[in-house]
């Protein structure tokens, strides 16, 4: 039994299902879209003409989703309130010629995606998931969610120095095995075609990655923590989706609430589905023009717009306290964090702090400050990119976790729902 919580564990249970069902960015946006459809949102295609109708809409492009709700009475210059996040996580991704192996082992050739904690992928049972492109150009999501692959660590007997600082060669040491047998060209893709009941040769393109098949779980004496994969940053995607769905039921919205979840944050956001691409600006602009707006209306709308860019940050680590700032100590279950960096690795300024503090106050949610130790490099996220690219006031916030970029991360069990409540309050007022 878990101790009673001020916050809704139903939200956390749903997050855990979302994490397990979203082994790739393509799955994450499909699952976000399914939740929004339930709340009455409808997909609009970028290749279609858009209209001025009210209601919930969303655009899907690869591993990115932009969703927004046009309330009754919205004008062409009504400003937006945006929750920003990213759908991708560091992992191992399949190379163009995947079939490799040696000495009777079948292996899959992989590249390292993003700033992965490499050792966390060793000796885990791994599945394979992603997106297949078929001969007719259509896409199909694939998820082999069973123990299919493993990156076996070298035995201690063969490397007595392993515990003195493990060195992993990104090319040589990370190629997973997936069974025994001769290496045959086309083997992996044929296997996936069979899994999916597709004819041989039907798959002509793929974007595939490995994932740990271990389920997310509550953890700790009182189940006050959650362990799971891809918390960075599916916690924010999930919370933003819940917040937007909830905000769409509010009466008299003074803004157009938006969820913008991008792909490719972990390698710099420079992609057509990344925050450094035109996707968000194009969608917002088209929404203004569809309501009969002019360039002037767009400029007015953007000038009144605020974005809360939500991503994970570092909770204070009890074994490495000296790596953190000496006085700013974000804690698990202490509520969402406001991320500040005066050199604009985070976009937050004092006026943004006030927006975030007001949202948390309205939601009845405690919140915390995050700032890096001056001697440590500071991470960054989509916040500064969104601010600079679109000229939109942006505030960097998030949830404090441990083990960031591990194959299995750790957060407080109450923080995800506190984040969702704060995001909802921000979108609604």
- From 220, 233, 294, 303, select the one nearest 264 (Cα to Cα): 233
Size of the site for Zn ion (CB under 5 A): 3
Near Zn ion in 195-254, by CB under 5 A: 232-233
Quick one: 56 or 90, whose CB is closer to Zn ion? 90
- From 358, 335, 392, 428, select the one nearest 84 (Cα to Cα): 392
The two three-digit tokens of residue 289, written as one number:
């023009």
Minimum CB distance to Zn ion, residue 3 (Å):
29
Minimum CB distance to Zn ion, residue 61 (Å):
19
Minimum CB distance to Zn ion, residue 233 (Å):
4
* Cβ within 8 Å of residue 60, ≥6 positions away: 29, 30, 33, 43
Task: Lay out the site mask for Zn ion across 175-194 (x = CB under 5 A, - = otherwise).
Answer: --------------------
Quick one: 281 or 379, whose CB is closer to Zn ion? 379
Minimum CB distance to Zn ion, residue 149 (Å):
25
* Cβ within 8 Å of residue 64, ≥6 positions away: 25, 29, 87, 261, 262, 263, 273, 274, 279
How far is it, in rounded angstroms, from Cα 357 to Cα 22?
31
Quick one: 253 or 401, whose CB is closer to Zn ion? 401
263 touching Zn ion, by CB under 5 A:
no
Minimum CB distance to Zn ion, residue 265 (Å):
6
Identify the sign of the CA torsion 50, 56, 62, 64: positive
Quick one: 187 or 232, whose CB is closer to Zn ion? 232
Quick one: 78 or 233, whose CB is closer to Zn ion? 233
Task: Lay out the site mask for Zn ion across 302-341 (x = CB under 5 A, - = otherwise).
Answer: ---------x------------------------------
> Per residue in 365-385, is it b (16+ CB within 10 Å) or e — as a string?
bebbebbbeeeeebbbbbbbb
Quick one: 266 or 325, whose CB is closer to Zn ion? 266
Task: Classify burial at 286, counting beta carbons within 10 Å of its beta carbon; exposed 0-12, middle 13-18, buried 19 or more.
Answer: middle
| Local structure of 347: helix, strand or coil | coil
Minimum CB distance to Zn ion, residue 307 (Å):
16
Minimum CB distance to Zn ion, residue 85 (Å):
8
Cis before 233? omega within 30: yes
- From 397, 401, 234, select the one nearest 333 (Cα to Cα): 401
Contacts to Zn ion by CB under 5 A: 232-233, 311
């Amino acid at each position: 039994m878990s101790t009673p919580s001020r916050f809704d564990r139903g939200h956390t249970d749903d997050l855990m299902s979302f994490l397990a069902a979203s082994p790739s960015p393509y799955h994450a946006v499909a699952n976000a879209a399914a939740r929004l459809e339930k709340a009455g949102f409808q997909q609009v295609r970028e290749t279609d003409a858009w209209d001025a109708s009210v209601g919930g809409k969303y655009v899907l492009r690869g591993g990115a989703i932009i969703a927004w709700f046009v309330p009754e009475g919205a004008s062409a210059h009504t400003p937006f309130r945006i929750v920003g996040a990213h759908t991708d996580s560091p992992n191992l991704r399949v190379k163009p010629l995947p079939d490799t192996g040696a000495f009777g082992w079948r292996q899959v050739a992989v590249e390292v995606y993003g700033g992965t904690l490499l050792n966390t992928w060793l000796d885990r049972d791994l599945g394979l998931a992603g997106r297949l492109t078929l001969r007719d150009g259509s896409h199909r999501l694939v998820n082999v969610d069973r123990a299919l692959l493993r990156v076996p660590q070298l035995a201690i007997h063969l490397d007595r120095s392993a515990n003195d600082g493990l060195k992993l060669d990104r090319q040589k040491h990370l190629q997973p095995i997936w069974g025994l047998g001769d290496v045959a060209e086309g083997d992996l893709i044929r296997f996936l075609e069979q899994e999916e009941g597709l004819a041989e040769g039907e798959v002509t393109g793929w974007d595939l990655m490995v994932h740990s098949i271990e389920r997310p779980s509550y953890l700790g004496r009182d189940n006050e923590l959650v362990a799971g994969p891809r918390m960075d940053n599916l916690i924010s995607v999930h919370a933003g989706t819940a917040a937007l769905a909830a905000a769409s039921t509010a009466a008299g919205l003074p803004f157009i609430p938006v969820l913008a979840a991008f792909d490719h944050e972990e390698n710099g956001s420079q992609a057509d589905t990344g925050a450094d691409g035109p996707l968000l600006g194009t969608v917002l602009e088209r929404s203004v023009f569809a309501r009969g707006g002019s360039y002037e209306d767009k400029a007015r709308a953007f000038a009144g717009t605020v974005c809360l860019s939500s991503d994970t940050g570092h909770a204070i680590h009890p074994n490495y306290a000296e790596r953190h700032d000496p006085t700013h100590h974000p804690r698990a279950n202490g509520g969402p964090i406001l991320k500040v960096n005066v050199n604009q690795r985070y976009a937050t300024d004092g006026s943004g702090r006030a927006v975030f503090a007001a949202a948390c106050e309205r939601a009845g949610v405690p919140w915390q400050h995050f700032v890096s130790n001056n001697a440590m490099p500071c991470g960054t996220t989509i916040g500064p990119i969104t601010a600079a690219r679109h000229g939109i006031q942006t505030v960097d916030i998030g949830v404090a976790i441990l083990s960031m970029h591990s194959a299995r991360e750790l957060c407080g069990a109450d923080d995800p729902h506190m984040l969702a409540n704060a995001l909802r309050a921000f979108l609604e007022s």
